[in-house]
Structure 1
Amino acid sequence: MGFEMIGIDHVQLAAPKGSEDEARKFYGEVLSLKEMEKPEKLKAGGGCWFHCGSHEIHIGVENEFSPALKAHPGIVVKNIEEVRRTLEENGYKVQEDTRIEDRKRIFVNDPFGNRVEFLEYY
């Protein structure tokens, strides 16, 4: 094989056109992800990007938006109970999934209906 997969650079989620402020509130304020500057040539297309550890989450806007109900990012966290508390205090419904034995997992829908998973390894 002449190539090697190194890792994931970013995950892109979609949102409705004009929803950048809502994205900034959820991803930037509630989840405390730091927004990053988009490349100048991509700014006109809307959306916003956030640092997530050594990776990035890109929120792209679509005219014909439909949320990702099954496909989702899985974000590894420390202190998942604090993540749960923060989400619930901000009005988000959290679902827990215990089907994988070596990690605790919770799911939430972002303001646009996209599924987002948070997990913490035991």
Structure 2
Amino acid sequence: MRARHIDHVNLRIPEDGADEAREFYGEQLGFGVEDALYAADEKPFFDVRLSATAVIHLWPTEEFEAPTKTNYDHVAVVVEESVDEIERELADAGAAVEKTLDSPLGATGEAGAVYVRDPFGYRVELKARV
């Protein structure tokens, strides 16, 4: 097999967490939220659009268990902005920065990254493009 890219990531969220997820991923991080089919009860999850070829599926469920250090670390998303721009946009949106690293290694090489936590405990790495 010759993998091309990650298509999607599935994350479980609390059953009543859809509004918080829309606020964090849509408003604070500025990603597109696609939830029309979810709102129409046509599918059990909604999407955070990262790019034309990648989404995060958010699955509201009553069986939600917050991630722990032993079962989850982070999902990394490459963005077009520099670390300074990422930090500025997060500050303007009221999102708390957990940490910033100068050059963590990723799939395409080393580049600066800013880490945030979503309302459910998932860490998201916003990685500057190499």
SS in 2 for 1:93: coil
% of aligned pairs identical?
31
* TM-score under structure 1 length normalisation: 0.78
Aligned match of 1:78 in 77, 80, 93?
Answer: 80
* TM-score under structure 2 length normalisation: 0.74
- Where in structure 2 are there 5+ consecutive unaligned residues? none
Deviation at 1:77, TM superposition (A): 0.8
Rounded Cα–Cα distance in structure 2 between residues aligned with 1:92 and 1:34: 17
**Total equivalences in the alignment:** 118
Which residue does 1:96 correspond to in 2?
100
Rounded Cα–Cα distance in structure 2 between residues aligned with 1:114 and 1:61: 14
1:16-55 alignment to 2 at 5 Å? 16-36=14-34, 37-38=36-37, 43=43, 45=44, 47-53=45-51, 54-55=53-54
Deviation at 1:48, TM superposition (A): 1.9
- The reply to whether residue 87 of structure 1 matches residue 90 of structure 2 is yes
Aligned match of 1:113 in 112, 118, 121?
Answer: 121
- Where in structure 1 are there 5+ consecutive unaligned residues? none
Q: Is the 8 A contact 2:86 2:114 kept in 1?
A: no
Rounded Cα–Cα distance in structure 2 between residues aligned with 1:41 and 1:9: 23
* RMSD of aligned residue pairs (Cα, Å): 2.4
SS in 1 for 2:60: strand
Cα distance per residue 1:55-104 (max 9 Å; x no partner): 11111122232233543221101123222222233333211123527200
